[in-house]
Structure 1
């Protein structure tokens, strides 16, 4: 977002805005865009694809994910499906995932004898193995890892966290620059043609004001998954009672294993510990009985069952459907079948519920297809923002210069920025630190440029 008067801040001053304040806001909008826009394009493209993850995976991996709906609606026993998966890929079964719909396959996660972790797909009607992929090896898991920059290590993930915070600054400064100051166009309309800079300025401003609020929402709701801030807030929101919110009954023996170690879980349950079964001489209830118990307890279809791999292990049923209210995790004693811990969305604390709801909307699942369509439009808008910003800068840049907006004459206008630094440093430590570094560099460079002139 930017104002009609970007290259003439004095004109903005005659409309009632301070030249120095305008320059400071414009300068930092430029810096924020310089840092954020490359991330914004990458995150928007991968995010726009990921909101249709189920549809795309079902299409690309239809031979594994989809089965013919049989006239006979009876299903093979879960243990038979696990046995078929192990016959095709010998090893240890770690997890069984219930088919989410009548035309969906079941999934068995296997750690093979060679140490490879596979997702084996099985027809639930006749226990026929359809094929296998590396665990989290679908095309949409690849897109998800690209979206979070997980492929590129902790430094890259930290940069995404900083970019999310800077995008909020980008929107705030952009609204100030967009604010109408008597101009006839460029507020909600686009003037000119692509050959003219005013076209790109108007496209940038109008698109920015349309998607700015959504951009802030996506930045804030994406923060829970961030490397530094997300982990700290998770503990704050969910307490330190074995990773479960305060008030949840956890007076059972706990193992040192985290729920996230068994596979994908909700944000609130990342640090939740898995309870232990009481040692017993009786045989394990088995997967079939465990699945029957989970069905009786009413878990949403498509739940995953983590299988016990030690004598004190438990059967853990977990499901995170589109409607966050249906999220649930249940641990069963492997010998008695009794529920040891039953955790629902309603058991999260107020902050945990709010963040989980925000994450669900961020993923495009809470409101179904309308949610997905809105997010895709926002992602397209974000790409338009980046392209128009680049075109606008290219058309106004001076030769042999970055075209950084001018420094305010009165440095006191940076007091507001210092206030943002203080807030950012407390709420988002990485973002606050990056702002502080950027401010120090900006002032140092400006001071160096003034010295020859003074001499």
Structure 2
């Protein structure tokens, strides 16, 4: 018989009991963090869910409300695009011509977009022209690449900033920054709780399974629904942060460092196209420019952007955000109407493509109606999870007769009870997350500061024996966290 040797400890994979002990140590901390985030951040997420749900259906609303500006009677003949632009310029003689969106189908109107001093950013004044008869159908403010009309613009600003400018954008960034962490933490807590209780797959996945009523049923609906929504919530959180001020800036910096940015066409006029200061051969005109772009393969809805000066080109951009995505761009010489540069969506870096698809799916335009229905279900489920969370908080109130009472958070001391290695890991992980997602980091520090101050205040008071309701709550909490009481 050979001599028996001991296997080195570092070569032994961690056992299931080791994992259970690790989770038993971390679970109280996750419970307390999930509680605070749920109570104080959920209102921001709720507002984002409701306003986002409204936004999803604004395209259909606008088609109905502004039908007279968007639709015309089909006719076989159309005016030259340059003539339509001239009609629009006569309507707004003091505005600066910026771009034109030609009618794509016979029943579509043409949009001519102007920059006016009172509008900033992506807001422009748009004149709607009947391409067949030349009648001005209306003048209104539009916004962004999507060409959002007033209804969608108003709802977009509500969802983005509550109509409070840059300051209001903090609300939506808070919602997007915390949603992924709250969702992940909640799912881990729910699955571990139900699995340990012997609920099985059905108990984890089916809302209300294995429970009759009360807080247990609310928790089942809250947890199981959150599990079903997890991937969608992670998607909304990630894509929402790309629009944010602080996390969005970090994402943009990362994409630039990794060469994941969206490429753009060069707008410099060719060196041999005449005098660089002014096009010697004059302007070929918007009709010839559009024809050149069409020959280069830019079909469907497009926007023709006017040259900024004599040394630059027209830029023609596809603006169809539905699937399959058509967002090619072409630079077209103002003098010769020749295409000088083309950027194809097919040539985008993978991350630039994913970003484009993610943003369009977040807005509900990538797959049309199915996309809208999916976002509606996701928003409805998220609202349900939040409502059930607050209902659980109310059902956990210390005195059942106190209708306005609410439950206490998990008892303090969960971080202090962690082993040193776990403490260091938690601090490093949260520091990294806080650096990448600044508003999450700032609000987390605020939670910790308030919690520490409340703890000091409680200890400074004269010791009192906790009442039976408080003792019952603490016992339930400790049992729920699967750790022994600390004496």
Q: CA RMSD in A?
A: 3.3
User: Which residue matches 1:356?
Assistant: 356
CA deviation profile, 1:173-219 (whole Å, cap 9, x unmatched): 10122112225457513269998333332221221111122101110
User: Which residue matches 1:329?
Assistant: 329
Output the CA distance in 2 between the equivalents of 1:134 and 1:391.
Answer: 43
User: Which residue matches 2:89?
Assistant: 86
Output the CA distance in 1 between the equivalents of 2:150 and 2:285.
Answer: 29
User: Which residue matches 1:342?
Assistant: 342
Output the CA distance in 2 between the equivalents of 1:300 and 1:406.
Answer: 62
Change (3 A) 1:409 1:143: closer
Alignment counterpart, residue 243 of structure 2, candidates 220, 225, 236: 225
Where in structure 1 are there 5+ consecutive unaligned residues?
1-14, 255-275
Change (3 A) 1:385 1:331: same
- Structure whose CA Rg is larger: 2
- Corresponding position: 1:131 with 2:138: yes
Secondary structure, aligned partner of 1:103:
coil
Output the CA distance in 1 between the equivalents of 2:293 and 2:443.
Answer: 48
Change (3 A) 1:422 1:34: same
Where in structure 2 are there 5+ consecutive unaligned residues?
1-19, 144-148, 465-487
Output the CA distance in 2 between the equivalents of 1:444 and 1:210.
Answer: 37
Which stretch of the first structure deviates more once superposed, 170-179 or 444-453? 444-453
Output the CA distance in 1 between the equivalents of 2:212 and 2:134.
Answer: 59
Output the CA distance in 2 between the equivalents of 1:277 and 1:340.
Answer: 15
What TM-score, normalized to structure 1?
Answer: 0.80
User: Which residue matches 2:448?
Assistant: 439
Contact 2:315 2:331 survives alignment (8 Å): yes
CA deviation profile, 1:19-40 (whole Å, cap 9, x unmatched): 6643322211111122332222
User: Which residue matches 2:108?
Assistant: 104
Contact 2:269 2:312 survives alignment (8 Å): no
Give the Å deviation of 1:378: 0.3
User: Which residue matches 1:406?
Assistant: 411
Output the CA distance in 2 between the equivalents of 1:355 and 1:291.
Answer: 28
Change (3 A) 1:198 1:148: same
CA deviation profile, 1:277-332 (whole Å, cap 9, x unmatched): 66332211111111111222221322111223533343221123213642122222
Contact 1:20 1:408 survives alignment (8 Å): no
Contact 1:93 1:307 survives alignment (8 Å): yes
What TM-score, normalized to structure 2?
Answer: 0.75
Which structure has more relative contact order (CA 8 Å, sep 6+)? It is 1
Output the CA distance in 1 between the equivalents of 2:265 and 2:163.
Answer: 37
Secondary structure, aligned partner of 1:86:
helix
Alignment of 1:110-189 (within 5 A): 110-111=114-115, 117-136=124-143, 137-149=149-161, 151-179=163-191, 180=194, 181-182=196-197, 184=199, 185=203, 187-189=205-207
Contact 1:324 1:356 survives alignment (8 Å): no
